[in-house]
Structure 1
Amino acid sequence: MFGKMKQFAMKKVLQSQMKNVPEDQQQMIMEMLEKDPALFEKIAKEMQEELKNNGNNQMAAAAKVLPKYQQQIMAIMSPEMKEKLMKMHMGAQGQFNADGSFRQ
């Protein structure tokens, strides 16, 4: 019972943190969270520890913690999720010039 309550609470907190994230990406993250909540709880704890050490710099904490878990995250992604991820990366690469300016 408490496991489901904890998972529901974690889902609500995550949704509030992702309000500016596109809907399809939110759905992808939520699906992965449901597949392996223990992994994401472990990542969250490490991120919190890094935030304390880095003065609340979320980008620095994510850059340090997430690469450690990249293979595990990729392992729980469905083939459809991996395809969406590739399309997102390819789309982002196609919108900008090498100097960082926006391609018309």
Structure 2
Amino acid sequence: MSKTQRRARKNCNYTMNSIPFKRDVKTLTIRREFAWEAGIAVRSPRCRFYHTSAQKNLNDRVIYWPRGRVWGGNSSLNTMVYARGHPFDYDYWDEIGASGWSYK
């Protein structure tokens, strides 16, 4: 039983379930910076390696679909990416009325 479970049982009437893993929880750290670019998440023991079935609208390609295998599940694998748009898009938004959105 984890420390969190013991506290919950002691302080309230809640019960908690846990999913046992073979690895020690203290060693399960996730490096978020550039995880996808470096391929860390792709080769990580913290991922389940699923793939979609062939998708007709994607020319029958199969897509890698990682799922989290840590506390927090898939949200532990999510990441945000900052990407600046193409200058043409910003200039177009300015042309159609979004004044101040021009790239220039």
Please tell me the TM-score bracket, short chain as reference. Answer: under 0.3
Q: Which has the higher strand share?
A: 2
TM-score of the two chains, using structure 2 as the length reference: 0.20
Q: Which has the higher helix share?
A: 1
| Larger CA Rg, structure 1 vs 2 | 2
TM-score of the two chains, using structure 1 as the length reference: 0.20
